[in-house]
């Protein structure tokens, strides 16, 4: 699965990246993935590739959620552990884990997820704005919620992957990646 790097993700309110559905509602395609017991999604145009998990090369003196770096597509790509980023416990195993390579502006970031489920097409009327109780960084990186069709199905949290890191964290990442590139 390949997205278009640097193309800019469609807005959660429904910039069309698919044909119009019933009643003229615009459609958006989302890549759904699991982190812990929760279901998340990212706009398909922000996802560059889904890779099988291989341990990233560790980098010293970085936050615990920065797992390390990988070489992908001729680039050194920083890899963050979304479990650690979201302050969830560590996974007991990484057998089904994947690295989601996502576009964050002109850069790529790898995100370790517990599994990738499917590409889901949703209409704009299925997308809800994040609740007002979301504050701080969570408010920045949660783009929308996908309304569940039934009570048994989970609500899907749509992430704005370009916002997963603050400006300060991006500087730390750039310095760490530059150090890793020059040392190795």
Give the CA angle between residues 37, 82, 99 to the nearest 5°.
100
Which helix (H) or strand (E) segment holds residue 120: the answer is strand 115-123
Using CA atoms, how far apart are residues 19 and 89, in angstroms rounded to an integer? Answer: 40
Q: Does 92 score more than 90 pLDDT?
A: no
Q: Which span out of 13-17, 134-138, 169-173 was modeled with the highest average pLDDT?
A: 169-173
Domain positions in the chain are 22-183
Name the β-bridge partners of 31: 42, 119
Per-residue pLDDT tens over the stretch 8-19: 333 333 333 444
Block residue for tokens 């097409």:
121
Q: Among the residues of the chain, which ranges form H helices? A: 82-85, 136-141, 167-183
Per-residue pLDDT tens over the stretch 22-69: 456 799 999 999 998 889 999 999 999 999 999 999 988 888 888 999
Beta 47-52 vs 98-104: how paired, if at all? antiparallel
Please tell me the CATH code under which domain 22-183 is placed.
Answer: 2.40.50.180
Block residue for tokens 């998340």:
40
């Amino acid at each position: 699965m390949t997205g278009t790097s640097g193309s800019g993700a469609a807005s959660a309110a429904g910039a069309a990246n698919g044909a119009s559905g019933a009643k003229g509602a615009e459609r958006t395609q989302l890549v759904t993935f699991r982190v812990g017991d929760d279901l998340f999604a990212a706009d398909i145009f922000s996802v560059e590739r889904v890779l099988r998990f291989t341990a990233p090369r560790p980098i010293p003196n970085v936050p615990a959620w920065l797992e390390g770096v990988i070489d992908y597509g001729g680039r050194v790509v920083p890899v963050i552990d979304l479990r650690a980023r979201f302050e969830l416990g560590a996974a007991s195993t990484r057998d089904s884990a994947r690295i989601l390579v996502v576009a964050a502006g002109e850069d790529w970031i790898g995100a370790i997820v517990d599994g990738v489920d499917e590409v889901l097409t949703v209409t704009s009327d299925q997308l809800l704005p994040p609740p007002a109780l979301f504050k701080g960084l969570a408010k920045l990186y949660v783009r929308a919620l996908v309304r569940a069709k039934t009570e048994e199905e989970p609500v899907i949290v749509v992430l704005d992957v370009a916002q997963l890191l603050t400006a300060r964290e991006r500087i730390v990442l750039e310095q760490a990646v530059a150090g890793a590139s020059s040392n190795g």
